[in-house]
Amino acid sequence: MKLEKDISLKPYNTFGVDVKAHQFISVRNEEELEGILKRFYASELFVLGGGSNMLLTQNISKTVLHINLKGIEVLEETGNYVIVKAAAGENWHEFVLFCLENNYGGLENLSLIPGNVGTSPIQNIGAYGVELKDVMEYCETINRQTLSKKTFYTKDCQFGYRDSIFKSKFKNQFIITSVTFKLSKNQHKLHLDYGSIQKELEANSIDSPTIQDVSKAVISIRESKLPNPKDIGNSGSFFKNPVVSHSVLETLQNDFPNLPYYKIDDNSVKLPAGWLIERTGLKGYRDGDAGVHKQQALVLVNYGKASGKDIKDLAEHIRKAVKAKFNIELETEVNIF
Ligand code: EPU
């Protein structure tokens, strides 16, 4: 463990924004993590996971604590299911691939999501009809102030759409050190309802898909719409899909009869922010090196040298355009620093 000074955070954020960390420490195990938490006050640290859900708009004057804890462990196994624990610093997609290689089912729809295992509960990552809350058993954490360890079971996490207790009541209070999953070993329950998965499988003439087939379908859909951060900097969906009441939906439908929506409950629906942004004419828009992705308007991209501020300004421009056209306030999904 080494304390580095004045390093660029460009390799540590998927937007590829070039800001500096005044001090940087990467911890590889819990002992190192505890050592750092003892040495620094919580307020002196900036905790960094996979850097896939953040937009850095300025140099970081705090000490950046990079959570790089590694390890995957099978804790329990029966004929039907397996309990697997992954350390927070494991790359999410590599962990999904490990599970697929071992024929552990449950994570296939979450293939190719950027980021690390440890940040997956914070925003309850989700895609193609599955959310983290559906597969997580518990996550283990350490309190940043008291250093005491606490296990959060799924029911304790107040999971919602891109939301959890770690974003609200306990924001910045805990560091997640590992996440433990319950996965199937046979009779996998497949989630194919999300329109394009079924279509993708049919296009490949697969009628009894395996979990590996579902993963391949998800990867192919994602690759067709979402830019790979290794090629073009981005943070996935920049905004959340807004949740509105049925009466707001009805008013909007008068002017936009083709507006797609997903029912959440009897009171509310979710609107696709990508659809709203596309109708403002901003899909594919580019201002310098900051842009709106050509294939998916919900994703903002860094074509190379955009600063965090350039991307933040573009996001503000989009928010204003959506507000003006639909009277809807978009909320960012990405955390802006
Ligand atoms: N749409 C447009 N134009 C666009 C983008 C989308 O008209 O530019 C329309 C689509 O035609 C479709 C609807 O919007 O009718 C929904 O689009 P899509 O299926 O691509 O999903 P999304 O709602 O835009 C969400 C998640 C993604 C996740 C996909 C699949 C959020 C904020 N985003 O996107 O998550 O992969 O569903 O489940 O909920 C992420 O969080 O980083 C992310 C990529």
For the stretch 87-124, pLDDT in tens is 999 999 999 999 999 999 999 999 999 999 999 999 99
Which is nearest to 163 in space by CA: 120, 111, 109?
Answer: 120
Q: Which residues line ligand 1 (CB under 6 A)?
A: 127-128, 225-226, 236-237, 240-241, 260, 272, 274-275, 278, 283, 296-298, 333
Say if CB 92 and CB 117 are below 8 A apart: yes
Shortest-distance atom of ligand 1 to CA 270: 23
Residue 1 in this model has a pLDDT that exceeds 90: no
Domains and CATH numbers, the chain: 4-67 (3.30.43.10), 72-225 (3.30.465.10), 233-336 (3.90.78.10)
237 in active site: yes
44 in active site: no
For the stretch 165-195, pLDDT in tens is 999 999 999 999 999 999 999 999 999 998 7
The amino acid at 207:
D
What residues contact 99, with CB distance under 8 A and at least 6 apart? 84, 105, 106, 107, 181, 183
Residue 81 parent element (H or E): strand 81-87
The region, left, alpha or beta by phi > 0 then psi within -120 to 50, assigned to residue 112 is: left
For the stretch 50-89, pLDDT in tens is 999 999 999 999 999 999 999 999 999 999 999 999 999 9
- pTM score, two decimals? 0.95
Shortest-distance atom of ligand 1 to CA 239: 32
Q: In the 8-state DSSP scheme, what is residue 39?
A: H
Q: Which of 26, 52, 162, 235 is catalytic?
A: 162
162 in active site: yes
